[in-house]
Amino acid sequence: MTHRRLTPYFYVAPSLLVMILFIYYPVVQNLQSSLFDWSPFSSDRRFIGLGNYTRLLQDSLFYSALKNNLLHVLVSVLLQVLGALVLAAVLEDRLLRAVAPLLRTVYFLPVLISVSIIGLLFGFIYHPEIGLLNGFLRSIGLEEWTTGWLGNSKTAMLAVISIGQWQGLGYTTMLYIVAIQKIPQELYEAGRIDGCGRIQSFFHITLPQVKEIMFVVTVYTLSQSILVFSDVFVLTKGGPGDASQVLSTYLYRKAFVDNEMGYASTVANMILIITFMLYLVQSKLFNTGRER
């Protein structure tokens, strides 16, 4: 009887052990590191208590990076959470059923391309002289809008954010498509009998039925936006100046360029706190996983 009661714990023990070793233990270690002033090239570790946190709260570059991350979050929620849902609903409409597989492939393809290739591709698209984007603007008479998109401090962050949306939209759209395909067709037929049009069916049938996956997509999108690193690092490295600096690239700079590991640990802890707070807000707003 005791053996049977303990059996479930044996099943979860390996994964729990891996999580403790590779996730929770490093988190605790990072919290400890943030209380010290130290460099990876020196054995001296000076305890400064909450000194790094006090410094972080007065660091204008930290707030600038946080603002860029929040802008990334805002655009990503609009396009990858809400826009992807609309796109998935359109692709699953019976009018597009014949070409839906082709369109799904077209939208999902960018997900399979590595960040390095995307960096090269958009480096060419955004090129100030021979870039496709500036060429297109000139061809439609908007030459005054042309600029060096990645070299201009006013457009660098938006240019990087656009790449994230281009690559991420297909993935979240596919998640919604899977959820929409599981909705019983009887609900839509009943809606049509009651006189519901496509827009009414979307709001009264599709939207409530995909609420659970929408929560998952929102958590995924927000965490990706807060943790974004590779897009920025490959294309701008946080520049020009610090115009496209985000929290992850700022952390990298403090850890591996300025060799301030204690301060970098503090930035990492703030990223964890911000991500966790956003998760709590989402959980409260979506109120998912509860029986009504």
Secondary structure of 124-136 in HEC code, one letter for each residue:
HHCCCCCCHHHHH
Q: What confidence score (pLDDT) does residue 289 get? A: 56
pLDDT of residue 53: 95
Position 96 scores a pLDDT of: 81
Mean pLDDT for the stretch of residues 196-200: 87
pLDDT score of 186 more than 60: yes
Confidence of residue 213 (pLDDT cuts 50, 70, 90): very high
pTM to 2 decimal places: 0.88
Averaged pLDDT for residues 271-288: 84
| Amino acid identity, position 183 | I
- 60-286 to CATH, choices 1.10.3720.10, 1.10.3470.10, 1.20.1740.10, 3.30.910.10: 1.10.3720.10
In terms of Cβ atoms closer than 10 Å to its own Cβ (0-12, 13-18, 19+), residue 37 is: middle
The C-alpha atoms of residue 62 and residue 57 are separated, in whole angstroms, by: 8
SS3 163: helix
Query: CA distances (Å), 71 to each of 79, 232, 265, 270, in order?
Result: 12, 14, 23, 17
Q: Convert the pLDDT of each residue in 229-265 to its tens digit.
A: 988 998 898 888 899 999 999 999 999 999 999 999 9
Determine the 3-state secondary structure of 241 from DSSP. Answer: coil
pLDDT at 287 over 80: no
Identify the pLDDT of residue 248. Answer: 94
CA 143, CA 113: separation in Å to the nearest integer? 31
Share of the chain above pLDDT 90, in %: 57
